[in-house]
């Protein structure tokens, strides 16, 4: 975006002067200004139409411009724009929503604690699992095992649970009681091992860590079914079965962070369904409201709930826990997902087509691997295909590709030199074709 129109320039000047944007380079805060959206498309202040290959930020399951969600919000705002859910008060939308989510979550995950987003969901999880063990007379069970390069949010607990080094380096993280084991990232870290052997080896790190620290000290293991912000890291097929075997042997809680994988992204309602996992707790956000309003939550199993119920008070909550407008939008969002059979359509129609078309990019000289599940995809950029050698200036190459994408009407995000894609669940096959065509052009330009 070298020369821009006067209105864009004016907004960019305001941004430089006043807006501290998240995860941004503060030396240059001149953003691309997104002004409107419809379906799977965005428009920027230069009038450019852009296919949103990232669903906002993995959020807009139903795409943009769904009037039903707007109506649900405005109806609720007229009826009851706000009331809290503290101290024995509630309202119909939050109760209806809790019941509805319990119907679609796997197993006996039946109890909902609502938050403003995914980070608060993971903060809530950390406090609740420690509270759970303390209430069972085991207060020393405090440690949470997570994975390197995981993303669990940006609050102090969320960023500590996450395994992102650049985040830990700012603010003295992680907080005590959180440890990280290896990620199942075969393409980057598998070395000479075949994928399935690598999957077992990495999963075994969980058992080694439990044994090294002592089962009596470990409260929980947290993981995204597929690491999203880390680079859409689809684990080898051997990984989750081995993790399940290990978890079955030890008395620790299993937390699935479903903030990205939840609400249909994998072609199942939750990533845990896709892999056949049965977590004790699940964090949710993003697709819960299709991003139209902020909302997240922690889903708690009967087992955990029965125990903490014995104590009574849980001294934790947010003003906006179960906000009525967010709850009304989430309810409408889930109604549409169900009535329009969207998750099933992703599974049987769109995802197989998207995955097939995306894999055609494997033939491109710049591409070392294409992987994905459902409507999640990743393209690894390499200097040399055969040896999987990456560019030394990986970050710059990824940013260049991202910039070419934006300039040619496609949002693809760069995680280093891994290009990642997660379009709205309602993307059509023709729009998938357009996405792949544009991605090919941008790879050509990056070469
Ligand atoms: N967990 C995962 C897996 C995420 O991808 C994110 C955000 O991208 C979060 C948690 C944090 O959610 P939020 O940004 O809503 O706080």
With beta carbons less than 8 A apart as the criterion, state whether 270 and 105 touch. Answer: yes
How far are the Cα atoms of 55, 256, 262, 266, 272 from residue 105, in angstroms, in the given order?
A: 22, 12, 9, 14, 9
Cα–ligand 1 centroid distance for 383 (angstroms): 31
| Atom of ligand 1 at shortest range from CA of 150 | 3
Which residues, given as ranges, of the chain have pLDDT below 50?
A: none
| Atom of ligand 1 at shortest range from CA of 258 | 3
Angstrom distance (rounded) from CA 402 to CA 410: 9
| Atom of ligand 1 at shortest range from CA of 228 | 5
One DSSP character per residue, 73-128 reads HHHHHHH-S-----TT---HHHHHHHHHHHHHSSTTEEEEEEESSHHHHHHHHHHH
The residue nearest atom 6 of ligand 1, judged by CA position, is 153
Cα–ligand 1 centroid distance for 193 (angstroms): 31
For residues 158, 301, 328 and 271, what is the CA-based torsion angle, rounded to 10 degrees? Answer: 70
How far are the Cα atoms of 254, 299, 321, 335, 440 from residue 104, in angstroms, in the given order?
A: 19, 11, 20, 11, 37
pLDDT (0 to 100) of residue 161? 98
- ipTM value > 0.85: yes
How far are the Cα atoms of 167, 195, 303, 314 from residue 129, in angstroms, in the given order?
A: 24, 33, 12, 11
With beta carbons less than 8 A apart as the criterion, state whether 271 and 224 touch. Answer: yes
pLDDT (0 to 100) of residue 138? 98
pLDDT (0 to 100) of residue 387? 86
pLDDT (0 to 100) of residue 1? 58
Q: What are 264-323's pLDDT values in tens digits?
A: 999 999 999 999 999 999 999 999 999 999 999 999 999 999 999 999 999 999 999 999
pLDDT (0 to 100) of residue 6? 97
**pTM passes above 0.95:** yes
Cα–ligand 1 centroid distance for 287 (angstroms): 11
For a substitution probing ligand 1, which of 153, 223, 265 has the most ligand atoms within 8 Å of its CB?
A: 153
Q: Which tokens is 170 given?
A: 């700012």
Angstrom distance (rounded) from CA 84 to CA 185: 42
Q: 387, exposed or middle or buried, with CB in 10 Å at 0-12, 13-18, 19+?
A: exposed
The residue nearest atom 13 of ligand 1, judged by CA position, is 118
| Cβ neighbours of 413 (radius 10 Å) | 21
| Atom of ligand 1 at shortest range from CA of 120 | 16
Cα–ligand 1 centroid distance for 284 (angstroms): 9
| Atom of ligand 1 at shortest range from CA of 257 | 3
Q: What are 367-404's pLDDT values in tens digits?
A: 999 999 999 999 999 999 888 899 999 999 999 999 99
How far are the Cα atoms of 29, 34, 60, 166, 188 from residue 21, in angstroms, in the given order?
A: 8, 14, 20, 17, 30
Cα–ligand 1 centroid distance for 260 (angstroms): 7
With beta carbons less than 8 A apart as the criterion, state whether 177 and 144 touch. Answer: yes
Please give the backbone phi and psi of residue 2, each rounded to the nearest 5 degrees, phi first: -75, -60
> Which of 219, 274, 281, 211 shows the shortest CA–CA distance to 246?
211
Cα–ligand 1 centroid distance for 441 (angstroms): 30
For a substitution probing ligand 1, which of 259, 262, 282, 291 has the most ligand atoms within 8 Å of its CB?
A: 259
| Atom of ligand 1 at shortest range from CA of 261 | 3
Domains of the chain: 32-65+343-446 (3.90.1150.10), 67-339 (3.40.640.10)
pLDDT (0 to 100) of residue 224? 99
Ligand 1 neighbours, Cβ below 6 Å, are 117-119, 122, 151-153, 158, 224, 228-229, 257, 259-260, 285, 296
Cα–ligand 1 centroid distance for 121 (angstroms): 9
Cα–ligand 1 centroid distance for 151 (angstroms): 7
pLDDT (0 to 100) of residue 447? 84
Where in 185-307 does DSSP place strands (E)? 218-223, 253-257, 281-284, 296-301
The residue nearest atom 7 of ligand 1, judged by CA position, is 153
């Amino acid at each position: 975006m070298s020369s821009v129109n006067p209105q864009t320039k004016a907004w960019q000047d305001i941004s430089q002067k006043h807006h501290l944007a998240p995860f941004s380079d503060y030396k240059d805060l001149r953003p691309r200004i997104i002004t409107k959206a419809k379906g799977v498309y965005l428009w920027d202040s230069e009038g450019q139409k852009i296919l949103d290959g990232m669903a906002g930020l993995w959020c807009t399951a139903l795409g943009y411009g769904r009037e039903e969600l707007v109506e649900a919000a405005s109806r609720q705002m007229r009826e009851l724009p706000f009331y809290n859910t503290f101290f024995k008060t509630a309202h119909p939308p939050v109760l209806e929503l809790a019941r509805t989510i319990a119907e679609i979550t796997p197993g006996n995950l039946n109890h909902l604690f609502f938050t403003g987003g995914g980070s608060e969901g993971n903060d809530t999880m950390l406090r609740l699992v420690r509270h759970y063990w303390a209430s069972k007379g085991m207060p020393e069970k405090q440690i949470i095992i997570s994975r390197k390069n995981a993303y669990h949010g940006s609050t102090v607990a969320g960023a500590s649970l996450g395994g992102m080094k650049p985040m830990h380096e700012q603010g003295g993280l992680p907080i005590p009681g959180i440890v990280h084991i290896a990620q199942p990232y075969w393409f980057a870290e598998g070395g000479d091992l075949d994928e399935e052997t690598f999957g077992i080896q990495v999963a075994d790190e969980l058992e080694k860590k439990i044994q090294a620290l002592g089962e009596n000290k470990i409260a929980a293991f947290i993981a995204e079914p597929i690491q999203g912000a880390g680079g859409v890291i689809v684990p080898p097929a051997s990984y989750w079965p081995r993790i399940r075997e290990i978890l079955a042997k030890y008395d620790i809680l299993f937390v699935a962070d479903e903030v990205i994988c939840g609400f249909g992204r994998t072609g199942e309602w939750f990533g845990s369904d896709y892999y056949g996992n049965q977590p004790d707790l699940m964090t949710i956000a993003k697709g819960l409201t299709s991003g139209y309003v902020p909302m997240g939550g922690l889903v708690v199993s009967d087992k955990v709930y029965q125990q903490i119920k014995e104590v009574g008070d849980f001294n934790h909550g947010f003003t906006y826990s179960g906000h009525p407008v967010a709850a009304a939008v989430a309810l409408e969002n889930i109604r549409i997902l169900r009535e329009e059979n969207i998750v099933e359509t992703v599974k049987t129609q769109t995802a197989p087509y998207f995955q097939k078309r995306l894999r055609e990019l494997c033939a491109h000289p710049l591409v070392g691997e294409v992987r994905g599940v459902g409507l999640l995809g990743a393209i690894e950029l390499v200097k040399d295909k055969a040896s999987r050698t990456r560019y030394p200036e990986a970050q710059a190459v990824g940013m260049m590709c991202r910039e070419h994408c934006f300039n040619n009407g496609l949002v693809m995000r760069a995680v280093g030199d891994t290009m990642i894609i997660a379009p709205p669940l309602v993307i059509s096959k023709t729009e998938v074709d357009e996405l792949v065509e544009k991605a090919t052009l941008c790879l050509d330009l990056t070469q």
